[in-house]
Structure 1
Amino acid sequence: MLRQHRYLRTSLKGVSGASLRPGTTRSLCLLIATLASVASAFGEPLKALPAGAQPNDQRLQPLLDLNGYFPFAPSTSPIEWNQRAAHVRRRILVSQGLWPMPRKTPLNAVIHGKLERDTYTVEKVYFESFPGFYVTGNLYRPRTTSGRVPAVLCPHGHWANGRFHDKGAAQTLAEIKRGEEQFPDSGRSHLQARCVTLARMGCVVFHYDMIGYADSTQISFDLAHRFAVQRPHLNQPSGWGLFSPPAESHLQSVMGLQTYNSLRAVDFLQSLPDVDADRLAVTGASGGGTQSFILAAIDPRIKVSVPAVMVSTAMQGGCTCENACGLRVGTGNVEFAALVAPRPQALTAANDWTLEMKTKGFPQLQQHYQMLGAGKRIYLHSRVEFGHNYNLPSRLAMYHWLNKHLQLGVQEPIVETDFQRLTTAEMTVWNEAEHPQPKGGEAFEQQLLQSWHDDSQHQLAALTPRDANGWKSYRRVVGGALATIIGRELPDAKHISYERTTKADRGSYIEIVGRVSNRLHQEELPVAFFHPKDWNGQVVIWADPAGKQSLYGPSGDPQTDVSRLLDAGMSIVGVDLLQQGEFLKDGKPPKRARKVANPRAAAAYTFGYNHALFAKRVHDLLTMVVFVRNHEEQPQAVYLVGLNGAGPWVAAARAQAGSQVTRAAIDSQKFRFGEVGDLLHPSFLPGGAKYGDLPGFLSLSAPHALWLSGEGTSPELIQAAYAATNAADALTLYNGTMPTSAAIDWLLQDRETD
């Protein structure tokens, strides 16, 4: 009885002034509510908060969007950074649909139409990144070389017409007057200017198209960069299109395609006989800057990078081609640039969103590089008197940086000299006679996404575990991906606290209501406990769409299924997950999730910066697992129950919780993320369908005890995971019509052995 009483004392702790918030109106209200509730009549469920109040939870604040603040906090040691870098790099790859990486198919590169200039040549190039999907561009080469030479990738960015950009005579003359350019004609294309000068410096240069620009028209400019309204006819379980719920559920995006094009462009350069594969660089501005730092962050083959006017703690990229679901959740462009370290990297800043980079972002990157022993390998060229640009002063800084770190040996100072500007006809790679333009349009878009999907599913199917080694590989790929998609592991217990609000003696048990907080993330959860006076050391965390109210019957006493557990000596915890119970001002559950103010119907504008509501509810369950498991009374067993529609949340939480959950009882109701047809449905989860859908989450329960309803009698992937971990007996499958009652039966059997 002593142990029982200690548990009650510590669980009910929170009435004292020390645990309230002195001097606040809210604390006074809570104290009044506490005193009133002690005399609460049986049958009146207690509340964690005063009437009309909501939890003190930062997730109720406005959502983060691309115009937010994205600081970078440097790690204190290389070991700490390596761990963080692995998570951030995986986040990029998962968000781009490149985890696992698509199997590389032949490039089938075509190089034709050589043009001779004084000291360099220009050729036309196209190759296939995916079968039938073409990357297009121009290849600049020095006319005379000795041996293999460095190569530079030049993504063009969001300048009008991309690779074919011509700013016009009037704008060029104005820029000459401001000191941004120097030649009236060649200055009309700063894109060609950097390619020509780099070729004159001795580099092979590939100037390639963004999707939808110049010769890359299989996916249109309007779709790739101006998408605004969903296309219902392409929101289908098969044959879906970009930006649709199925595409986002499988992590397929324009940005992902564009990133993969950049990776294949590196493959292309490495295939050229005159290129030194160990001296590759990338430089681009604006959207091309985004392409540059993303590529350098994930591809170690890039030895030097110069992303211009894009890396900052402010605006992260406004185009749909710069955003992907899950990409910048908990991170941002400055940290992406940090992934390049210790490789050399130069940045530029201007009078745009990079305006404050000199004081916000760059000092942290300097600290980061210094921590890695590479303090001289990071540089910022800040010329904030100029607007958004890749002008002559910025290009000169870039030439110096590449000259130094690619070891070109060009005499300094490097200057640009005039050149004969290429016309569109001289640049275009297509001609009807020998190089006809490939077909595009919606049918091609559907075919491309299906091919991408088929490849990833083939690879994932091959990972189905058959033994211990197979389980290890499966866990790394699928477990790693789902950890990124959910975005939260078990929190550290030091960040979890509890404050009791009210209690009532109900005879054989105590009803306790309070708030569990995750202080690190500023989250607060209303919770209710039914704690038997003859407690057996076991705790059930009960998740339900109705929140903690689901513990109660119509008369306010414990509902029948909860009573069975309570009578057996188990303590039951009910919780209001985000947007349940006391989170709701009007008591009505949301029919749709929140979104950012951006009017364009691209999911990445919201879910590229914020977790989906589904994931946030999983976070809440993980918080509860840590709270219960780390209570000072050390419960002997912790059970996690998800029935009546809560099964998918519990499946995802169980996958992350490992041995901290002794048993889980889940009724999946055969829910599938891939069937959610609304980007703002509360159950929408970016990437949720890609890795085996809900059975993929459930498979990660292995080798721990799982009771499962809703998946039939032979869910292959789940059974394979349990067999591979030698835990087939730990999986109980139920295919009857009374899952709740059967789940309770299972929890009650042999509980003494847990």
Structure 2
Amino acid sequence: MKRFIALAVLLCVAVTTFAEDVRHQPLKDLNGYFPFNPPSSIDQWEQRKEYVRRQILVAAGLWPMPTKTPLNPVLHGKIEGDGYTVEKVYFESAPGFFVTGNLYRPTNPQGKVPGVMLAHGHRKDARLHLTPEKTLRNQIADGAERFERAGRSTYQSQCRQLAKMGCVVWQWDMLGDSDSIQLSRELVHGFAKQRAEMNTTKDWGLFSPQAESHCQNVLGLQTLNAIRGLDFLLSLPEVDPQRVAVTGASGGGTQTMLLAAIDDRIKLSFPVVMVSTAMQGGCTCENASLLRVNTGNVEFAALAAPKPQGMNTANDWTKEMATKGFPELQQLYATYGKKNNVLLKRGEHFPHNYNAVTRSAFYTFLNKHFKLGSQAPVIETDFDPLPPEQLTVWDEKHPAPKAADPDFERNLLAWFTEDADKQIRAAAASPEGLRDVILPAAEVLIGRTYANAGDVQWALKQEQEQGGYVKHTGTLLNKTYGEEVNVVWLCPKQWNGRVVIWLDDSGQAAVCDEDGSVNLSAMKLIQSGTAVLGADLFNENDETLKQTRVVANPREFAGYTFGYNHALFAKRAHDVLSIVSFLRHADSGPCPSSDLKNVAIAGWNGTGPVVAAASGLAGDAIDRTAIDTQGFRFGEILDYRHPMFLPGGAKYLDLPGLIALQAPRPLWLAGESETPAAITSAYQATSRTADVVTFTGEAAQQQSAASEWLLK
């Protein structure tokens, strides 16, 4: 009776809907607006901080962290300077993958001394570069540089100054730059077109859909090199682990933000000309699928709070930072009681740079917080920079590896794939591993959890009596995210408190055609007293959708689109979470939660994998799940514009890994010749193998068999 009273009330209420689902709006790209909204409490921020850090790690291919193999560092060719030394260094961040650079040390360090990581931007041959005389004279005239000699190499100037202040400095090469030659500069920073020979289901290369589905990207490789560089720096006995800083400009600013965000060993950071609510970094090496979905560079910088952090502005995308972004960072630091730990060096009259003025601000900031004892403000002195041939790592005794070798690229990604697979399979064999490794990753891949599915409301459009049941059509409005899902409910007049969400790539028609005919398997459920809900998931009925939308960037890199926007697959999973959340929390509608006893879900055809992902995230909100996979695997998709493409989808044991998250809840599985090992391991770990039913009969019998199982 309560249910029919609620329905009568709904019929008297004017129905309001969104003018348009926000997901139909233009896609966001790297030139969008990325504000930071600091939380009102430390507890709220710590929860958000954990998620964004995890998002960075997953996007960079570092969840779980690749096995840390021996660095095998080689230091040679020491050069004596006036109070400091310079050494040539290379080591292996992964087997056979060399990181190259120079190590600067004070000549006579007194006890433990600070360590500084110095990343560089996109200037070609940055570590070895000498500024042309004409360019330097113009910089001196503008006040950007001070010296005609030292100004020839801003990197050497910075490393030398820090070493003379008592710091050990590690300055390393970005991929494809200076002595880092195993991957070409054209590939790393200039990739434009997909390479057919690298777009394969085995032995793939960077930027391919396969690499994207395994979270393998240049940004991740560079981030790993930074982490291993920090390992190397901290292996030096004179370096104080409580005083380690990182800085860099432009692309080096991106590396600085990311390293400080994810590695607690960094105690001070100074990202230059990169912290902004505007452009987020244009290079392929600064972008990755999943990386900035619902976040951005200012929030990345915020992850370092409350540790000391400085940044600057210039006449570039950072020019509005003083009013857009920095006040919010100050607010966050103030919440920690550390407002003075964050600094903004204004410099909008200078172009994009890490010039002498900004470098002085960094030295002075470092001097203050690491208590170095230098006179403030700290200003560089002049010197004669070393020529490139004295800094280069490779020579006859230390021969360079093969440059731009396609086989090296393939083998490197194969090593990361094998290493990750070994760790993830081990995780899938225990409830703790599923909870701590695979589930957190799935939350990032889909970009939403059941807990934050949103405030979902029911808008009734039509109600029709159909004998023993009532047909309701309407829309679920997700008020939190501005999304809508059109649904049909077939609710028995003698409802038993159970609901089955019946989803298919034909949408609502999978339950009930326009002429009113009901799916026979669904009717079996209705006749038992179970309500059946069908839905049109996002763009599911768009017959013209052969490829998903991508941003207006001519370079064929998935990260430019899916680094800022959810994949279509994820958006459909969001709809499923909206449906489940509404069922569990609704105080009105055809099946109010007060009378709800059981929620089951079934996914057929192309919707089966979407249901697998959403059901795994929904946890105990779903009591049992039936899935037809049709043998689908993310790892077989060779076009990042494919409607089923999901960044990272193949990494976590592919679709079976997502299905394994159903454990220990009852699972009915079709489309597989046998139960995949990941699923078997997950259910064995919970001693619930009997709750997995693998259906291998004729396709025409699937839904009928599943409906019988769903009635149990």
TM-score category by the smaller chain?
A: over 0.9
Which residue of structure 2 aligns with residue 68 of structure 1?
A: 32
Separation (CA, whole Å) in 2 of partners of 1:134 and 1:483:
33
The aligned residue for residue 600 of structure 1 is: 555
Q: Does 1:250 align with 2:214?
A: yes
Unaligned stretches of 5+ residues in structure 2 = none
Q: Bigger shift: 365-374 or 432-441?
A: 432-441
1:530-679 superposed matches below 5 A? 530-553=490-513, 555-581=515-541, 584=542, 588-632=543-587, 633-634=592-593, 635-679=596-640
Task: Say whether the 8 Å CA contact 1:167–1:188 is kept in structure 2.
Answer: yes
| Aligned partner of 1:395 among 359, 378, 400 | 359
CA distance in 2, matches of 1:627, 1:143: 67
1:124-139 to 2 correspondences below 5 Å: 124-139=88-103
CA offset at residue 280 of structure 1?
Answer: 0.8
What SS does structure 1 have at the residue aligned with 2:599?
Answer: strand
Give 1:16's match in structure 2, choosing from 8, 13, 16.
13
Match of residue 349 from structure 1: 313
Structure 1 residue 589: Cα displacement: 4.6
Secondary structure of 1:645's counterpart equals helix
Provide the rounded CA distance (Å) in 2 between the counterparts of 1:211 and 1:719. 41
Partners of 2:449 and 2:635 lie apart in 1 by 24
Tell me by how many angstroms 1:195 deviates.
1.0
Partner of 1:313: 277
User: 2-side partners of 1:350 and 1:307: how far apart?
Assistant: 13
Give a deviation string over 1:298-329, Cα, whole Å, max 9, x none.
Answer: 11111111000101111111000001110111
How many residue pairs get aligned? The number is 704
Q: 2:169: which partner in 1?
A: 205
User: In structure 2, what is the equivalent of residue 488 of structure 1?
Assistant: 448
Q: How many Å apart are 1:14 and its aligned residue?
A: 5.3
**Equivalent in 648, 656, 659 of residue 687 of structure 1:** 648
Alignment CA distance shift 1:493-1:458 (3 Å): closer
Question: 186-195 or 591-600: which moved more?
Answer: 186-195
Residue segments in structure 1 that go unaligned for 5+ positions in a row: 27-54
Q: Matches of residues 315-330 of structure 1 in structure 2 within 5 Å?
A: 315-330=279-294
Secondary structure of the structure 1 residue equivalent to 2:305: coil
Q: Distance in 2 between matches of 1:436 and 1:733?
A: 54
How has the CA–CA distance of structure 1 residues 181 and 206 changed in structure 2, closer, same or farther, with 3 Å as cutoff? Answer: same
Q: Does 1:152 align with 2:116?
A: yes
Deviation string 1:558-605 (CA, Å, 9 cap, x unpaired) is 122222222222221111111023xx4xxx251111100111001000
Deviations 1:618-673 (A, max 9, x none): 00000001112223332211111101221101100110111111221111112111
Equivalence map 1:213-232=2 (5 Å): 213-232=177-196
Identity value in percent: 49
- Paired residues of 2:428 and 2:657 also in contact (CA < 8 A): no
For 1:196 and 1:592, locate their aligned partners in 2 and report how far apart those are by CA, in whole Å. 53
Matched, 1:502 2:462: yes
Kindly provide the CA deviation profile for residues 393-447 of structure 1, in whole angstroms up to 9, marking residues without a partner as x.
1111000011111221112231111111121111110013443444541110001
Name the Cα RMSD after superposition: 1.6
Residue 363 of structure 2 is aligned to residue 363 of structure 1: no
Name the CA distance, whole Å, in 2 between partners of 1:105 and 1:721: 29
TM-superposition CA deviations, 1:496-530 (whole Å, max 9, x none): 11111122222332222111111111101111112
SS, match of residue 646 in structure 1: helix
Counterpart of 2:129 in structure 1 is 165
| d(CA) in 2 for partners of 1:492, 1:62 | 24
Residues 270-313 of structure 1 deviation map (CA, whole Å, 9 limit, x = unaligned): 11122222211111000000000100111111111100010111
Name the amino acid aligned to 1:535. Answer: W
- The match for 1:525 is 485
- Identify which range, 62-71 or 454-463, moves more after superposition: 454-463
C-alpha distance in 1, partners of 2:178/2:474? 60
CA distance in 1 between partners of 2:560 and 2:453 (Å): 33
For the residue of structure 1 that corresponds to 2:605, the secondary structure is coil
**CA separation in 2, counterparts of 1:14 and 1:99?**
49
Q: Give 3-state SS (helix, strand or coil) of 2:577's partner.
A: helix
TM-score normalised to structure 2 length: 0.96
AA partner of residue 16 (structure 2): L
SS of structure 1 residue aligned to 2:381 = coil
Q: Do the aligned residues in 2 keep the contact of 1:15 with 1:500 (CA within 8 Å)?
A: no
Aligned position for 1:39:
none
2:375 aligns to what SS in structure 1?
coil
Deviations 1:116-166 (A, max 9, x none): 222222111111101111000111112222222111111111123221222
CA distance in 2, matches of 1:578, 1:489: 18
Deviations along 1:318-359, one digit per CA (max 9) or x if unpaired, are 000001110111111111111101111001111101011000
SS in 1 for 2:53: helix
Q: Structure 1 490/474 Cα, relative in aligned 2: closer, same or farther at 3 Å? A: closer
Match of 2:227 in 1: 263
AA at the equivalent of 1:747: L
Cα distance, 1:231 vs structure 2? 0.6
Q: Secondary structure of 2:521's match?
A: helix
Farther off after superposition, 90-99 or 711-720: 711-720
Letter of the structure 2 residue corresponding to residue 543 of structure 1: L
Aligned-partner Cα distance in 1 for 2:562–2:514: 38
Mark the CA change 1:303 to 1:492 in structure 2 (over 3 Å): closer, same or farther.
Answer: closer
Separation in 2, partners of 1:271, 1:663: 51
User: Which shifted more, 117-126 or 431-440?
Assistant: 431-440
Distance 1:593 1:446 in 2: 27
Asked if 1 retains the 8 angstrom alpha-carbon contact of 2:454 and 2:481, the reply is no
Residues of 1 paired with 2:211 and 2:199: CA distance? Answer: 8
SS of residue in 2 equivalent to 1:343: coil
Q: Offset of 1:475 from its aligned partner?
A: 1.5
Distance 1:208 1:493, change over 3 A: closer
Q: Which residue of 2 aligns with 1:47?
A: none
Verify the 8 A CA contact 1:263 1:295 in the aligned structure 2: yes
Distance 1:461 1:726 in 2: 18
**How big is each residue's C-alpha offset from its partner over 1:214-261, in whole Å with a ceiling of 9 and x where there is no partner?**
000100000000001001111112110000011111000011000000
Asked whether the 8 Å contact 1:14–1:20 carries over to 2, the reply is no
Scaled by the length of structure 1, the TM-score of the pair is 0.91
- Checking the alignment, whether the CA contact within 8 Å between 1:157 and 1:287 is kept in structure 2 is yes
8 Å CA contact retained: 1:580, 1:589: no
Q: Take 2:90 and 2:402, find their aligned partners in 1: how far apart are those partners?
A: 11
Residues 747 and 599 of structure 1: CA distance in aligned 2, closer, same or farther (over 3 Å):
same
Which AA in structure 1 matches 2:211? Answer: A
Residue identity in the other structure for 1:746 = W
Out of 51, 56, 71, which is 1:92 matched to? 56
Instruction: Quote the offset at 1:59 in angstroms.
Output: 0.5
Change (3 A) 1:458 1:592: same
Q: Distance in 2 between matches of 1:733 and 1:9?
A: 43
